[in-house]
Structure 1
Amino acid sequence: MGSGKSVAIKQWYGLFTGYTIVSLVSVFIVYFISSAFENFIRVFAFVGAIYIAYLAISLLIQAFKPLEEIRNSRTTGSFSTGLFVQLTNVKIMVFCLTAITTYILPYHQDFPHLLLFGILLPLTGPICNLAWLFTGVLLQGLFKKHHRIFYTLMGLSLLYCAIGIVK
C-alpha cells in the first residue's frame, strides 16, 4: 500500500475523470432533453439521497469500531473508486446542470458553447477537492486520534444532507 498522499492522488484522478464525464453528460442533457430537466433532477436527487444515507450509516458504524479494525478493512483508494464516487455523486450532477442552465443557457444555446463550458467546468470542483485532499493528509493524525468523534459527526452530517435532499 502506498503513502496516504499517493493513494489519494490516484483516487483524485478518478474523481477528476468522473467529474469531467458528469459535466459533459450534463451538457448533452441540457442540450437534448431540456424539457424533461426537472423530472430528471428529482429522480437523481432521490437516488443520491439514498446513496448519501448509505454513506452516513457506514460512517456511523465505523465510529463504533476500533481504529485498527477500520484500517484493516479499508480498501485502498484507486482511480476506479474515485471515478465511481463521482459518477454516482448527485451533488455534482445537480451542480453541473444548474451551472449550465443558469450561467450559459441564457446567453448561448448552441452546442459548441455548451460543450466548451462543459469542458471547463471540471476545473472548479476537482481543484477544490485537491485542496481538501491535501488538507486531509495534513490533518490525518488528528482524524486518527479522534476517529470516533470524526466518524460520528461526518455520519450525522451526511444523514442530515440526505434528508435535506428529499425534502
Structure 2
Amino acid sequence: MAGLKNTFKVASLMSYRVWEPVPPNGNLQLLTNQERKISTGVGVQKAVWNLDEIQHSLSREPPLTVVYSTSAQQSMSDTLGWNGSDMCKFICQLTRGRYEGSRWCYAPKGSTPHAADVYRMGYSRVQGRENQRLSPWTYVKFSVVGSNLDKLFIFSAHPEGQFEGE
C-alpha cells in the first residue's frame, strides 16, 4: 500500500512538466538572449510547463505556492500595481495562444539554470480577465521549482518592452 501512495505522489508532482530540456553548458549570464531561448532541438519552441495543470493547482485548496524574485515583486507592486492575488488571476486567464517561448534563467542568488515559460497578455486587473486592447501587455516569465516541483516561481512580471530582448 505504501508503494502505491509513493507512486501517486511522484506522478502528481511530475504533471507540471511537459518535457525536460537539456540545460546549457556554462554561465547563463554570458549567453545572449537568443542563446537562452529553449527549443526542442529542431528549432520549435514548446512550453516546458503544463499551463492547464498550473492553473488548476492555483485554483484548488490548498493552492500551488507562488514565490517571486525580488525584481518581479517590486515591478508587480510599483509598475503594475498588482498583489499576489492579481498574479494568480492573470496566470489563470492565460491561454496557450499567449505563449511566447521559453528561456533559461537563474533564480536570484542561484547557479542552477531553470527552464521558464514566457507569456504576454493584455489584462484588466479591475475585471480580472484578458483585455487585448490594454497596452502595454504584461510580460510574465515563470517556472515550477523546488525539490518536489511544488512552487511556482515568478522570475519576471512587468509591462512588455520594459527590458531589451524580452
TM-score bracket for this pair, using the shorter chain length: under 0.3
State which structure, 1 or 2, has the greater radius of gyration over its C-alpha atoms: 1
Higher RCO by CA contacts (8 Å cutoff, separation 6 or greater): 1
Query: Greater share of strand residues, 1 or 2?
Result: 2
Normalised by the length of structure 1, the TM-score is 0.25
